[in-house]
């Protein structure tokens, strides 16, 4: 079939091939702009703020957990950021993302906030795998409690983080 088309073009005296442009003197700058769109990116819009945020940020060179925490914060989804003592107001019993420096003392393991407030994680050594993070700035998501279970606490007025996730480096 293709050979018949070529023969027809040759016999019909066609002055130019179909690949020859209409106006060979025109410059590439005058060519119409064509936008190439990846059909896989034409998905339906995200159902929620979280979905959209996660989709937009997945290309970042950051742990997925950190991206999720950022998106939760940006979208106002059940996790508030805590970096100073005043941020604890009305947060008792809620999930929070605590940002500070991981410290260890005779009192236990804690996150020291920028204003010097201590948020205790426990009263013994650091959780498994956390020892190398001592004196590093981290973000840990967990449930905040004003004071601790009385038999565990050295200082019942100190905030404690329970049910916490693995730490992530703070940006």
User: What are 20-56's pLDDT values in tens digits?
Assistant: 555 556 565 665 665 555 444 444 344 577 788 888 8
Residue 102 has pLDDT above 90, yes or no: yes
Lowest mean pLDDT among 19-28, 89-98, 129-138: 19-28
Percent of the chain with pLDDT over 70: 61
Rounded to an integer, the average pLDDT of 68-77 is: 69
How confident is residue 155, by pLDDT bands cut at 50, 70 and 90?
low
Higher pLDDT, 130 or 157: 130
Class of domain 80-169: mainly beta
98 pLDDT higher than 70:
yes
Q: Count the alpha carbons within 13 Å of 161 in the hemisphere toward its beta carbon.
A: 30
In this prediction the pTM is 0.54
Segment 61-79 shows an average pLDDT of 72
Long-range pairs for 154-162: beta carbons < 8 A, 24 or more residues apart: 154/107, 154/108, 154/123, 155/107, 158/118, 158/119, 158/120, 159/88, 159/117, 159/118, 159/119, 159/120, 160/119, 160/120, 160/121, 161/96, 161/98, 161/111, 161/119, 161/120, 161/121
Q: Where exactly does CATH 2.40.50 map onto the chain?
A: 80-169
* Confidence grade of residue 18 (pLDDT, cut at 50, 70, 90): low
pLDDT at 112: 95
Does the pLDDT at position 147 exceed 70?
A: no
């Amino acid at each position: 079939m293709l050979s018949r088309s070529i023969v027809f073009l040759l016999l019909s005296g066609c002055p130019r091939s179909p690949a020859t442009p209409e106006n060979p003197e025109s410059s590439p700058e005058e060519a119409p702009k064509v936008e190439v769109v990846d059909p896989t990116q034409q998905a339906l819009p995200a159902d929620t703020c979280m979905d959209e945020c996660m989709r937009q940020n997945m290309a970042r060179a950051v742990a997925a957990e950190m991206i999720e925490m950022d998106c939760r914060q940006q979208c106002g989804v059940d996790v508030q950021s805590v970096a100073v003592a005043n941020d604890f107001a009305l947060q008792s019993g809620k999930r929070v993302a605590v940002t500070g420096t991981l410290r260890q003392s005779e009192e236990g393991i804690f996150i020291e906030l920028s204003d010097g407030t201590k948020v205790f994680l426990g009263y013994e050594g650091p959780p498994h795998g956390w020892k190398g993070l001592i004196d590093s700035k981290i973000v840990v998501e967990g449930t905040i409690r004003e004071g601790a279970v009385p038999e565990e606490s050295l200082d019942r007025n100190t905030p404690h983080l329970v049910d916490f996730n693995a730490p992530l480096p703070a940006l």
